[in-house]
Structure 1
Amino acid sequence: MSEYTILPLINASFQPGEAKRTVAGFEDRDFQKIARAEYYYFTGQAEKCSHIAERYLMSHNIKLKMSSCLLYVYSNLTLGRAVASRKGIWEIRECLEKEMKYSSSAEDKAISVFAGYMSSVLLHLPVDELPDVEFYAAALPPGIKMFSAYVIAHMAYLKGEYGRALGICEAAFMFRDGTYPISMIYLYCMMAMCQINLKHHQKAKDALMLAWNMAKEDEFLEPFIEHHGLLQGLLESCIRKEDSKLYNKLSDKVISFSRGWMAIHNPMSENFVTDALSTVEFSIAMLASRDWNNQEIADYLGFSPNTVKTYLSRIYVKLNIKKRDELKKYMLK
C-alpha cells in the first residue's frame, strides 16, 4: 500500500520531534504540501493550513481531495469560518457517495468512509446514513487505521460507552506496528476523557501526560484545543503550572475553536458561553455543572476553595445566572 494516502503525516511513522523532517521527506510534491498543511493544522497555524488545503479541494486524486477537504473543514472551524467548513463537509459527503457507487478500489472506498466519519463524528454530527466504518477499517493504511480507532472510540464515548471506548484505544496500542504520534496523541486524549468519566482521575492524568509529553516535541497543540471541553479541566490541572508557556499558547486558541464548533453543530444556538468565559472559567463551569463541589474542583485544579468560589461568582455574572444548577443549561448541551 502506497505511503501516499489520505492525511500522509497522520499515516507516517516517526519519532516525536521529527515532524518537520518527516514532511520534508515526502518526495511527491503534492503529498508533501498536504503533509505540510497537516503540520500547520496540528501546530495551531490554521490560516496556513487552510490556504494549502483550498488548492486541492477539486483534485481528481481521491487521497489528495479527501485530505484537503478534512483539513479545510477543521482549519476553517478554528478560524470561525462556518460556511467554509460546511463546504468541506458537503464535498466529503458528495465524494463518498460517488466512491461507493463507482470505485473498484477497496482502499479508496475505505478512505472515503473514514473521511465521512472523521468529518462528522468529531463534530457530533449524525452518521446514520454512512457505511459502517468498522467494516472498511481493515483496508486503511496503518497510521490512518490507528486514527480510525480513535474515531470509533469517540463514537462510543458520545454514547456514554466509556469502558468500550477505552478498550478500543487500548487495542489500537496493542496492535500498532510503529510510532504514529498524531494518532497516538488523539488516542491518549480519548483514554483520558474515558478515565475522567469512569472517575479514575489519576489514570486520566497519566493518559493526558503521555499525550502532552509526546505532543510538545512538535508543539502539536491542536488535539488539546479540540478536546479542551471534553477533558473537563484536566489541562488546567496538569499543564497550566507545569508548562505555562505552551498552555497560554493553547488557551489563546481554545475559544475560537469552540465558537467555530458551535456554529457548525448548532448554527441557530444563542448559547454564548464560548465567548463569555475564559478557558479556566469554562473548565470550572464544566465541573460545577457536573455536580462537583468547590472543594473537589479546588483539589482537582490546584486552587483554593475560595478561588473556585470567586471564579464561580464571575461566571454567574458573565452568564447572567444566579446559581450552580443553571450552569447545566449552558454547559451540558
Structure 2
Amino acid sequence: MDIRLSACLIYAYANLSVGMIQRARYALTVVQEMRAAATEKQPEMRAALSFVLSTAAVLLHLPLPEKLPPMQEFLPMLPMGIRMFSLYVTAHYTYLQKDYPKSLGIVEATLGMQTEVYPIPCIYLHLVAVMDYMSLKQTDKAKQHLLAAWELARPDDLIEGFGEHHGLLGGMLEAVMKPAYPEDFKRIIAITYRFSAGWRKIHNPDTGHDVADNLTTTEFAASMLAARGWTNQEIASHMNISVNTVKYHITNAMQKLDIGSRQDLKKYMLL
C-alpha cells in the first residue's frame, strides 16, 4: 500500500502539471478509497493517507475532506520530514483563514525546533512566511524569508515551490528574483504557467471561485496587490517598476477580465 500511495501522489502531481485533470482527480479518488479502507490497525497508513488528502485540499484551496481527523492527531505518526511538510500545510491552511500571525507562529516554531535540515519542507515553510508577511505588508521580513528559501533551493535546484506559490507571494519574485537571478526567474515563471493552468482547472469549478487564468504573471502580481488595497506608487516601489508600468499592467488585467473597478479584481485573485 505504501508503494501505491507514493504512485498516486506522483501520478496526481504529474498529471496536474501537464493539465491532465481527470487523471489527477482519479489519483486523489484512489487515495480517498484507500483512506476509507484502512483499518484502525493501520495507524501509520491512515496517518499517511490523511496527510495526503489534507495536503491536496489545502494546496488546491479546496474544503478539507469530510471525516478527516484533525492534523494534530496523525502528525506524531509521520516521519520527521513529512511531519515538517504537514506543518507547512497547517501553516498554509491557517494563512487561507487569514490568521497571518498564527500562521507565522507555526512557521517559526517548526523552523526553530528542527534538529536537522529538510530542505523541501523548509523551503515551503519560508514561502508561507513570505505570504503571511506580504499580507501584513511587511515586505522586508517577506524578503528575508524568500532569500532564506532561495538559499535552501539553489544547491539542488529545488525551484518548483517558488513557481507553485507565485500568485500568493505578492510580487516578491518580481521584486527580488527577477533583477538578481533573471534566468532562474524565467524558469520559475515557466513552472508557474504550467502548474497554475492545471491548478485552476480543479480549483475554479470545484469552488466556484473564478481565479483569473488569462493574465501574465506580472499582471497577476500587480493586480493581487491592487486588490489588497496597495496604491500604484506602493506597487511600483515594491516591484521596482514605474507607476506608469503598474497602471499599464493593471489596466491590461482589468480589460482582460472585463471589469471597470480595482475593487472587482478581488473576484479573480487569490485573496
Counterparts of 1:156 and 1:172, CA distance in 2: 14
In the alignment, is the contact (CA less than 8 A) between 2:174 and 2:239 conserved in 1? yes
> 1:11-50 to 2 correspondence within 5 Å?
none
Counterparts of 1:229 and 1:185, CA distance in 2: 16
Worse overlay, 247-256 or 180-189: 247-256
Counterparts of 2:51 and 2:210, CA distance in 1: 31
In the alignment, is the contact (CA less than 8 A) between 1:73 and 1:119 conserved in 2? no
1:325 aligns with 2:263: yes
Q: Say if 1:93 and 1:255 are closer, same or farther in 2 by CA, change over 3 A.
A: same
1:70 alignment partner in structure 2: 9
> 1:278-293 to 2 correspondence within 5 Å?
278-293=216-231
Q: Say if 1:168 and 1:95 are closer, same or farther in 2 by CA, change over 3 A.
A: same
Q: TM-score of the superposition, structure 2-length normalised? A: 0.93
1:116 alignment partner in structure 2: 53
1:81 alignment partner in structure 2: 20
Cα deviation, 1:62-114, whole Å, max 9, x if unaligned, reads 22222221222222111111111111110111111111xx2523322221221
In the alignment, is the contact (CA less than 8 A) between 1:192 and 1:205 conserved in 2? yes
In the alignment, is the contact (CA less than 8 A) between 2:211 and 2:269 conserved in 1? no
Counterparts of 1:73 and 1:144, CA distance in 2: 18
Counterparts of 1:156 and 1:299, CA distance in 2: 29
The one-letter code matched in structure 1 to 2:53 is G
**In structure 2, the residue corresponding to 1:217 is in which secondary structure?**
helix
Counterparts of 2:58 and 2:254, CA distance in 1: 32
**In structure 1, the residue corresponding to 2:155 is in which secondary structure?**
coil
1:178 aligns with 2:178: no
Q: 1:165 aligns with which of 103, 107, 111?
A: 103
Cα deviation, 1:236-271, whole Å, max 9, x if unaligned, reads 111011100011111122123222111111237694
Distance apart, 1:199 and its partner CA? 2.2
The runs of 5 or more residues in structure 1 that have no matched partner are: 1-61
**Structure ranking higher in helix proportion:** 2
2:63 alignment partner in structure 1: 126
In the alignment, is the contact (CA less than 8 A) between 1:76 and 1:84 conserved in 2? yes
The runs of 5 or more residues in structure 2 that have no matched partner are: none
1:91 aligns with 2:30: yes
**In structure 1, the residue corresponding to 2:167 is in which secondary structure?**
coil
**In structure 1, the residue corresponding to 2:123 is in which secondary structure?**
helix
Distance apart, 1:163 and its partner CA? 1.1
Counterparts of 2:204 and 2:262, CA distance in 1: 24
1:235 alignment partner in structure 2: 173
Counterparts of 1:210 and 1:130, CA distance in 2: 33
In the alignment, is the contact (CA less than 8 A) between 2:209 and 2:268 conserved in 1? no
2:93 alignment partner in structure 1: 155
Distance apart, 1:315 and its partner CA? 2.0
Q: How many residues align?
A: 269
In the alignment, is the contact (CA less than 8 A) between 2:236 and 2:243 conserved in 1? yes
1:308 alignment partner in structure 2: 246
Q: TM-score of the superposition, structure 1-length normalised? A: 0.76
**In structure 2, the residue corresponding to 1:80 is in which secondary structure?**
coil
Which structure is larger by alpha-carbon Rg, 1 or 2? 1
Worse overlay, 72-81 or 291-300: 72-81
